[in-house]
């Protein structure tokens, strides 16, 4: 039976970017048999899954919210089930491990190759994380959905298992935030969207999708539509940040949890003999933020660290250069504003694909994993900005923000096929 009005308690949810914090509320359950129901399940495991989900949810709600029932849910957090909450904690722990050591992620993919992808996935969810398996299936059943849209592989797996057991008849749609679909994604999705033509071609031919005749669509990267509000110059936004308007400005970030090579890169940049503005974003890494806050930089260096912040778009619109790990949104937002990137870290094979997308397909980034060499390249560009121009021109190819609208339309089509 479909529940009546139910309000999601979002008070204790710590989303990495405050711009993404919304008042979630389950849509009123209509008694009309005409309206169909779509579910947007959020997962807290870095921003790479939350940001595209938010972008599509917002676009879909604006365009079709009055024509169907929409359920927004933090899948693991909003219940009192400790098993489900434990699953998300483990997902967050995995993100930390991947960013502390790149070998962790590569080792996991290596083991999946030996044991077989599907065997590995089944073992993970049904054995290793068994405490959350049945509660997750019950969550899917309770939604009584016609379509479930996923940006995280965990919710997709649970929903596909629930469908196999007859607990839901929902269509399964997914958006992969990465240029290609990794091994961790369930192949039973009926609709797959991603931002890379290469990823579409690869998905159609490989990984078990072909025999299922999964429908693939390429959409522009799901960057937040708010980027369109940033129409002024870099100097204008630097004034808002109260930083010098004329200094070469470098933004650094290593994902939501501020690990990786962020600390080493910042300390190396602080040795610069030329004037710079250095803006590191530490995310949840409060210890690193406190360390940076205590630093007294040289007189010719402007040093402005951030921790948990709602200003990532503002910072991206202000910088000349981005340095950090190859997260999807990490690279997409500076690229949108014409800032080249130096990638210093790829935590997993997935981020290796993301990096290759921006270094080869887009051409807006270079990969330099040695921190001293990366900083040397940054200083070279700061002294001779003409060297950056090819990367700036290439970044203009990615200056689109219509991805969420296009995907919202495709989801509406899928929903009407039910």
**pLDDT per residue as tens digits for the range 355-383:** 998 999 899 999 999 999 999 999 999 99
Whether 363 and 229 share a structural domain = yes
Q: Is residue 326, in this structure, part of any structural domain at all? A: yes
Which is more confidently placed, 191 or 105? 191
Whether 235 and 321 share a structural domain = yes
d(CA 353, CA 182): 9
Whether 197 and 333 share a structural domain = no
Question: Above pLDDT 90, what percent of the chain?
Answer: 56
- Would you give the DSSP letter of residue 28? P
Query: Hey, what long-range contacts does 233-239 have (CB within 8 A, 24 or more apart)?
Result: 234/317, 234/318, 234/319, 234/320, 234/337, 237/314, 237/317, 237/318, 238/277, 238/318
Provide DSSP, 272-325. -SS-EEEEEE-TT-HHHHHHHHT----TTEEE--BSS-S-HHHHHHH-SEEEEE
pLDDT at 339 over 80: yes
293-325: pLDDT as tens digits: 999 999 999 999 999 888 999 999 999 999 998
Whether 145 and 244 share a structural domain = no
- Average of per-residue pLDDT values in the chain: 85
State pTM to two decimals: 0.77
Whether 89 and 237 share a structural domain = no
Q: Is residue 6, in this structure, part of any structural domain at all? A: no
CATH no. for residue 45? 3.40.50
- pLDDT given for residue 27 in this prediction: 38
Domain ranges, residue 265:
225-398
- pLDDT given for residue 79 in this prediction: 85
Whether 202 and 241 share a structural domain = no
Whether 161 and 274 share a structural domain = no
How many domains is the chain partitioned into structurally? 2
Q: Is residue 165, in this structure, part of any structural domain at all? A: yes
pLDDT at 51 over 90: no
Whether 43 and 155 share a structural domain = yes
């Amino acid at each position: 039976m479909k529940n009546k009005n139910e309000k999601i308690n979002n008070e204790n949810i710590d989303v990495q970017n405050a711009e993404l914090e919304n008042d979630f509320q389950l849509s009123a359950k209509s008694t009309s048999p005409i309206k169909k129901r779509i579910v947007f399940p959020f997962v807290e495991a870095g921003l790479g899954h939350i940001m595209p989900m938010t972008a599509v949810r917002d676009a879909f709600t604006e365009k079709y919210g009055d024509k169907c029932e929409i359920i927004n849910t933090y899948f693991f957090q909003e219940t009192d089930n400790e098993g489900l909450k434990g699953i998300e904690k483990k997902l967050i722990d995995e993100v930390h491990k991947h960013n502390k050591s790149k070998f962790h992620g590569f080792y996991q993919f290596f083991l999946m190759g030996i044991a077989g992808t599907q065997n590995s996935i089944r073992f993970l969810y049904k054995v290793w994380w068994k405490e959350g398996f049945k509660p997750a299936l019950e969550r899917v059943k309770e939604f009584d959905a016609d379509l479930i849209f996923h940006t995280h592989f965990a919710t997709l797996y649970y929903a596909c298992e629930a469908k196999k057991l007859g607990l839901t008849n929902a269509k399964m749609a997914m958006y992969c935030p990465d240029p290609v679909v990794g091994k961790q994604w369930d192949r039973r999705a009926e609709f797959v969207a991603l931002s890379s033509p290469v990823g579409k071609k690869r998905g159609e031919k490989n990984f078990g999708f072909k025999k299922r005749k999964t429908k693939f669509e390429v959409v522009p990267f799901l960057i937040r539509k708010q980027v369109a509000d940033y129409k002024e110059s870099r100097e204008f936004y630097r004034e808002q940040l109260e930083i010098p308007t004329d200094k070469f400005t470098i933004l650094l970030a290593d994902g939501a949890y501020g690990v990786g090579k962020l600390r080493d890169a910042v300390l190396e940049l602080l040795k610069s003999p030329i004037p710079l503005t250095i803006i590191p974003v530490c995310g949840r890494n409060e210890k690193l933020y406190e360390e940076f806050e205590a630093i007294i930089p040289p007189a010719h260096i402007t040093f402005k660290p951030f921790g948990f912040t709602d200003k990532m778009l503002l910072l991206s619109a202000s910088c000349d250069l981005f340095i950090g790990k190859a997260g999807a949104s990490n690279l997409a937002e500076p690229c949108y504003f014409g800032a080249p990137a130096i990638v210093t870290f790829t935590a997993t094979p997935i981020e290796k694909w993301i990096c290759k997308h921006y270094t080869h397909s887009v051409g807006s980034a270079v990969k330099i994993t040695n921190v001293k060499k990366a900083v040397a390249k940054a200083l070279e560009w700061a002294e001779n900005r003409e060297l950056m121009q090819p990367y700036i021109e290439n970044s203009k190819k990615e200056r689109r923000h219509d991805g969420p609208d296009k995907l919202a339309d495709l989801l509406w089509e899928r929903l009407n096929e039910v």
